[in-house]
Amino acid sequence: MPSASGRLPALAAFFAFGYLWGSWAAIVPAVQEATGASKGELGLALLCVAVGSLPAMVLVGPRVDRVPLLLPAALAALAAVATLPGLAGSLVALAAALLVYGAASGVVDVAINAEVSAYETATGTRAMQLAHALFSTGLLGGALVAGAARELGASRAAVLVAAAALLAAAAATNRRPIPRPPPVAEPSPATNRLLLGLTGAAVPVAAVCALAFVVEGALESWSALFLARDLDARAGVSALGPASYAVAMAGGRFSAHRLTRRFSDRALLAGGGALAVVGAALAAAAPSVPVALAGFFLGGAGVSVAAPIAFGAAGRIGGAAGIATVTTVGYLGFLVGPPLVGALAEALSLRASFVLLAALAAAIAAAAMRIRLA
C-alpha cells in the first residue's frame, strides 16, 4: 500500500500544472495585443488547446496503466513546449503553439488524475479534492507572479519560462509511480464501451465535468480580459481576475477535502453549482472591478468542487478508463467554451457570456441529483 509520501510527487505535479495555467491566463491580454487578434479570433485560437488535447487524451487514456513513467515524460514534454504561446507574434503562430501546448497538456491531465485515482483505490482515502486544490493554488501563484512580473516589464515568454522550470522540477520528482490496481471489469463491454473507447457508465459524470470546465475555462481565460477591456483595469489589476478566481478554487477544494467527511458528493456538487450561479451572475452585472472580483471569487468557489468529484467518481466507476473518459469528455467543455464565449463577446459582450455561464452552473446543480457518483 502506498504511503502518503508516495503521493507527494503527484501533488507537486498538480501545483506545477496549475502554475502554468495561471501564468498563461495572466498574459492573455498581452498575447491578444501582440497577435492583433479580435475577441472572436482569440476565442478560436484558444480552441486549439482543446483540439490538441482531445486526440492526445483519446490515444493515451486506454494506455495509462501500461506506461509507468507516463507522468514524468508528459511533464517534461509540456515543459519543453510551454513557452511557445508566449513567443507567438501572429494569430497563426499562436494557434499552432496552442495546438502543441494542448496536446502535451492533455497527456499530463490524464496522467496526474490517474495517479491520484490509483492512490485513492489503493488506500481507500479521498485525495482528489486536495490534488485539485493544489492545482488551484498553483493557478493562483502563477497568476499573481505573472501579473507582478508583467508590471515590472517581463516579457510574455519570460513568464512562461518560469512555469516551464516548475514543470521540469515536477518531472524529476515523479519517477516512482503508485502501483496500479487491476482494471475495473465491466459486465458487458459491448454496451459499456462507446465511441473512442469511452466507458459508458462514466459518461454522465463526464458530461457534468464538461459543463464545469466550460465555466472554469471561461473564468480563467476571460476574467483578465474583462477587467482590462470592459472595466479599464491596468495589467496588474486585471491579473487579479484569474487570481481571485484561483483563490476561491483553492479555498473551495481545500474546504471540500474536509467536508467530504460530513457531506455527500451529491450535496457538495449541488451546493457548489448554486453558488457558481450567483458568482457568474454577479460578474455579468458588475459595475466596477471590486464587484467583478467578488463575482469571480464566488463563481470559482462554487464550481471548484465539480471536477474533483467527477474524477473521483469516474475512478471508482471505471478505474483508469473512467478517468480517461471524464478527461476526454470533460475537455469538450474547453473545446466548446472558448469559441462560444468569444462569439458571444463579439456579438454581444463578455457580460452576456457570463450570463450563459450562470445557466451552465445551474445545470450542474440540477444534474447532481441524478448522476451516479459511486
What is the total count of domains within the chain?
A: 1
Contact 218, 350 (CB under 8 A): no
Contact 32, 42 (CB under 8 A): yes
Q: Is 199 helix (H, G, I), strand (E, B) or coil?
A: strand
* Statement: the pTM of the whole predicted model exceeds 0.85: no
Please give the grid coordinates belonging to residue 29. Answer: 491580454
Contact 143, 91 (CB under 8 A): no
Contact 249, 257 (CB under 8 A): no
Tell me if 38 is assigned to some domain. Answer: yes
Tell me if 304 is assigned to some domain. Answer: yes
Tell me if 136 is assigned to some domain. Answer: yes
Tell me if 373 is assigned to some domain. Answer: no
Question: Please, how many CA atoms are within 13 Å of residue 255, restricted to the half-sphere of its CB?
Answer: 14
End-to-end CA separation in angstroms for the chain = 22
CATH code of residue 92: 1.20.1250.20
Task: Read off φ and ψ for residue 255, nearest 5 degrees.
Answer: -65, -45
Q: Is 162 helix (H, G, I), strand (E, B) or coil?
A: helix
Task: Read off φ and ψ for residue 172, nearest 5 degrees.
Answer: -70, -25
Tell me if 229 is assigned to some domain. Answer: yes
Distance of CA 258 to the CA centre of its chain: 21
Tell me if 374 is assigned to some domain. Answer: no
Distance of CA 269 to the CA centre of its chain: 17
Q: Is 188 helix (H, G, I), strand (E, B) or coil?
A: coil
The domain of 22 spans 4-180+190-367
Contact 257, 133 (CB under 8 A): yes
| Separation of alpha carbons 301 and 299, rounded Å | 6
Q: Provide the 10 A C-beta neighbour count for residue 189.
A: 10
What residue type is assigned to position 94 of the chain? L
For helices 4-35 and 70-81, the axis angle rounded to 10 degrees is 20
C-alpha angle 159/43/16, rounded to 5°? 35
Task: Read off φ and ψ for residue 148, nearest 5 degrees.
Answer: -65, -40
| Separation of alpha carbons 202 and 144, rounded Å | 36
Tell me if 185 is assigned to some domain. Answer: no
From first to last of its 374 residues, the chain has per-residue pLDDT tens of 344 444 557 889 999 999 999 899 888 888 999 999 887 888 888 888 878 988 888 888 777 777 778 889 999 999 999 999 999 989 999 999 999 999 999 999 989 988 888 888 777 788 899 999 998 889 888 988 998 998 898 999 999 999 999 999 999 987 666 655 555 444 444 334 444 456 667 888 989 999 998 998 888 778 888 898 889 888 778 888 887 887 898 899 999 988 888 888 999 999 999 999 999 999 999 999 999 999 999 999 999 999 999 998 888 887 777 888 888 888 778 677 767 777 888 888 889 999 999 999 999 999 998 887 86
| Separation of alpha carbons 219 and 245, rounded Å | 7
Tell me if 351 is assigned to some domain. Answer: yes
C-alpha angle 101/106/108, rounded to 5°? 100
What H or E segment, with its residue span, contains residue 211?
helix 203-225
What residue type is assigned to position 245 of the chain? Y
**Radius of gyration of the chain from its Cα atoms, rounded to whole angstroms:** 19
